[in-house]
Amino acid sequence: MLIEALPYISAFRGRTVVVKCGGRALEDLELRRRFAEDIVLLGWVGINVVVVHGGGKQISRMLDRLGIESTFHEGLRVTDDAVLEAVEMVLGGTMNKELVRLVNNLGGRAVGITGKDGGMVRARRISDELGHVGQVVAVDRSVIDHIITDFTPIIAPLATGEEGETLNINADPFAAHLAVALGAEKLVLLTDVPGVKDGDGELITTLHAREVEPLIESGVISGGMIPKVRNALEAVSAGVRKVHIIDGRLEHALLLEVFTEQGVGTQVLRQDVEEPKPRK
């Protein structure tokens, strides 16, 4: 694998890769450690890595411990004042600092922040029904530019609202907006599925923008994969070269996707991007 990785290391050295981590990759202690190892290695070979993490299951457990009921509306957690306090405790606190600890303990240099720090991410509320849940409207990359030369930013998806309030942001679109603002080479989404599959259940390794809507209309892409693919499309349409949807349950999935020709997931490309040779 090291020999196969050499041309990719050469090609991506000095480039920015945004990685969104969630699901089992965060829940399972061993997978979390393997993910941290991947982040450290990417940094060691000269790739500028920006990590965005979720923490939905951890938030639910915290709410259960606090005796606070958690409800969802259209797939998003309804976030009132009490829920927001727990969200900040987990995303900006325990989960964020655990990833920082792991990366630093393995020899990396990580700094944990949220989208609120330095006014990095501005957002607006989605609806009254969802409470303190927002969608990104602007990203100021200057905070990351100051950090990334020496450290790996590990960012919790919290943002500042129009009235200065804290808003909870879905990690996928949060990461996509960061990737666009940073002019990232890649956006990698770690999920709990192998990637996008065709009608026969086989993995689609390369997906061009023009193919997405027909696959959604036919039901091949369905459920929670629809917003992930649409976020990927928005990112590549706005300048991110590639978006990768990979299975975070696979050990070292990030390295296998970035540094091997066959990869392990689905790469999403714009219409005008020719399929590369090799695949990555």
Q: Distance between CA 212 and CA 217 in Å, rounded?
A: 9
pLDDT tens, residue by residue, 253-264: 999 999 988 889
pLDDT tens, residue by residue, 49-79: 999 999 999 999 999 999 999 899 888 899 9
Tokens of 212: 């997405």
pLDDT tens, residue by residue, 101-127: 999 999 999 999 999 999 999 999 999
pLDDT for position 273: 52
Burial of 104 (0-12, 13-18, 19+ CB in 10 A): middle
pTM, full prediction: 0.92
Long-range contacts of 33-36 (CB under 8 A, 24+ apart): 33/102, 33/106, 34/251, 34/252, 35/190, 35/248, 35/254, 36/99, 36/102, 36/103, 36/106, 36/108
Asked if residue 88 has pLDDT above 90, the reply is yes
Q: Interhelix angle for 29-44 vs 96-105, to 10°?
A: 60
pLDDT tens, residue by residue, 241-253: 999 999 999 989 9
In the structure, what pLDDT confidence band is assigned to residue 277 with cuts at 50, 70 and 90? very low
Q: Which domains occur in the chain, in start order? A: 2-269 (3.40.1160.10)
pLDDT for position 280: 47
Residues 6+ apart with CB under 8 A from 217: none
- How many CB atoms are closer than 10 A to CB 23? 19
